[in-house]
Chain A
Amino acid sequence: MTASDNTQSMLISLEKVEKWYGAFHALKDINLTVRKGEKIVLCGPSGSGKSTLIRCINVLETIESGQITVAGRVLDGSGKAVDAIRREVGMVFQNFNLFPHMTVLQNCALAPMRVRGMGRAEAETLARKYLERVRILDQADKYPAQLSGGQQQRVAIARALCLEPKIMLFDEPTSALDPEMVKEVLDTMISLARDGMTMICVTHEMGFARQVADRVIFMASGEIIEEAEPDVFFTSPKHERTKTFLGEILAHH
């Protein structure tokens, strides 16, 4: 691979990123690059900074130092850079965060209308396309509260896809779900992965990690401790903290 290929296929890069919440050092010297089409699973104990890390990528959190580049755009603190990056990055939250006063279809059509300036008809056509994609089109006219958690999360995925992002961020997408609904959401994510979407997933679903991840990254205390392909990561973790964590996680599954 030549140098130019390398930069072209690079979608996300974090260099020496530092983040503080007051006196709490949330992210310590984070360096990470993600190529186009790569699937990254981010795991670690709670409070390890994994959610904070992905929230920095679409500027839901600001960083104290370091540089973040997304789809060739450097996050320089300008509103334009923030807008440009948010257009390329979709995000799915632990608690879905659907808009409760809008129908499923309206939830999905809002951003295309307001951000991409589409007319209502065009935006709704697009919304239907992605609702079909997550196999929930039949619920388009319902309100979020009328759906199960798994259905709501699939709507949230469709809503993010409606901006046709290059990157999808998942922040513990199955943690708030009843066990029987986890699979339908993971299946949707797996099918997205198969279509070549670039994804960073904060999750403890190790089965999912084994199945789709190109790399698994383990974080603790705001640092990236270990980074490896899933096979290596699960069978021969190097660090003591990774071993302890895997022991705890896998004991539950």
Chain B
Amino acid sequence: MGPIGANEFLFILHGLKWTALLAIIGFIGGGVFGILIALTRVSKSPAARATAAAYIGLFQGTPLLMQLFVVYYGVALLGINVSAWLAVAIAFTLHASAFLGEIWRGSIQAVPKGQTEAANALGLHYVSRMKDVILPQALKISMPATIGFLVQLIKGTSLAAIVGFIELARAGQIISNQTYRPLLVFGIVGAIYFIICWPLSHFGTALEKRMAKAAR
């Protein structure tokens, strides 16, 4: 058994950096495309709605691990040489956009119909109606679920190890193999995930309670 010193610990923290970056990229990319998916999902055109529903169904109905594989090897098959980074970023963006799109679709539909009618009666057009009136309210409604998904996403980044990505979980595995102290190492890795995810979950629950109170 080897010691766990500063070097090993730094290596794990290095992995944490990639975990955080992956989650942030997935969340931002997924957020931008997720809004488009949500808006398409509630659009007037039945064809557009069906397309968005199929997209959401595809990504919700398959494991993230498989999505990572398909994007990683699929992009290479197209003859485009991408780094593991880009492939993983694309996969997480697609994955997150489907889930956030569905969460936000529900939130948009949860905004009372009278808000759309008032906006229409005032002559506001689609962009203003969405940007000024509907989306700010939908976003607020969606906060607990959105934060819940962010926690899932952070934990899901560990799957990026499968395509050779050294993020937090993979870094822990490497150190564990070097030091033969799996319990201690994964204990530390688990604690790090917990320190990040638990406050977020807690924040989400608190928001949910506060909103339930406000709605009464």
**Chain B positions 154-193 with a Cβ under 8 Å from a chain A Cβ:** none
- Contact between B132 and A91, CB atoms less than 8 A apart: no
Instruction: Say yes or no: is A159 at the interface (Cβ < 8 Å to chain B).
Output: yes
Q: How far is the CA of A101 from the CA of B133 in the complex (A)?
A: 8
Query: Which residues on A sit within 8 Å (CB–CB) of B115?
Result: 97, 99
Q: Is the Cβ of A86 less than 8 Å from the Cβ of B123?
A: yes
Q: Are A115 and B140 in contact (CB under 8 A)?
A: no
A101 contacts which of B125, B128, B136 (Cβ < 8 Å)?
B136
Residues of B near A99 (CB, < 8 A) are 115, 118, 132-133, 137
Which chain A residues border B120 with CB–CB below 8 Å? 59-60, 86
- Taking a contact as CB atoms under 8 Å apart, the answer to whether B114 and A93 are in contact is yes
Q: Which residue of B lies closest to A112 (CB)?
A: B122
Cross-chain pairs A/B with CB under 8 angstroms, 30 sampled: A59-B120, A60-B120, A83-B123, A86-B121, A89-B121, A91-B118, A93-B117, A93-B118, A93-B121, A95-B114, A97-B112, A97-B115, A97-B118, A98-B118, A99-B132, A110-B122, A110-B128, A110-B132, A111-B122, A111-B123, A111-B124, A114-B124, A114-B128, A114-B132, A115-B122, A115-B123, A115-B124, A159-B122, A160-B121, A163-B122
Which B-chain residue is minimally distant from A84 (CB atoms)? B123
Enumerate chain B interface residues (CB-CB to A < 8 A).
112, 114-115, 117-118, 120-125, 128, 132-133, 136-137, 140
* B contacts with A: majority SS: helix
**Shortest Cβ-Cβ A-B pairs, 5 listed:** A97-B118, A86-B123, A97-B114, A111-B122, A91-B121
Interface centre among B115, B118, B121 (most CB of A within 10 A): B121
Which residues of B have CB within 8 Å of A90? 121
Closest chain A residue, CB of each to CB of B114: A97
Given that A99-B133, A101-B136 are known contacts, is A110 also in contact with B124, CB under 8 Å in the complex? Answer: yes
Q: Collect the chain B residues with CB atoms within 8 Å of residue A207's CB.
A: none
Shortest A142–chain B CB gap in Å is: 16
Q: Output the least CB separation between A224 and chain B (Å).
A: 23
A159 to B121 CA separation, bound complex (whole angstroms): 11
Q: How many residues on chain A are close to B (CB under 8 Å)?
A: 23
Contact residues in B for A210 (Cβ distance below 8 Å): none
User: Closest CB of chain A to B215's CB: distance in Å?
Assistant: 11
A90-112 CB mask vs B (1 if < 8 Å, else 0) is: 11010101111100000000110
How far, in angstroms, from A95 to B136 measured CA to CA in the complex? Answer: 20
Is the C-beta of A152 less than 8 angstroms from some C-beta in chain B? no
Q: How many Å lie between the Cα of A116 and that of B90 in the bound state?
A: 41
Chain B residues with CB below 8 A from A110, complex form? 122, 124, 128, 132-133
Task: Please tell me if A58 contacts chain B, counting CB pairs below 8 Å.
Answer: yes
Partner of B137, one of A83, A101, A159: A101
When distances are taken between beta carbons in the complex, the residues of chain B under 8 Å from A35 are: none
**Please, how many angstroms separate the alpha-carbon atoms of A163 and B118 in the complex?**
13
Q: Provide the A157-179 mask, 1 if CB < 8 A to any CB of B, else 0.
A: 00110010000000000000000
Of the listed residues B120, B122, B133, the one surrounded by the most CB atoms of chain A closer than 10 A to its CB is B122
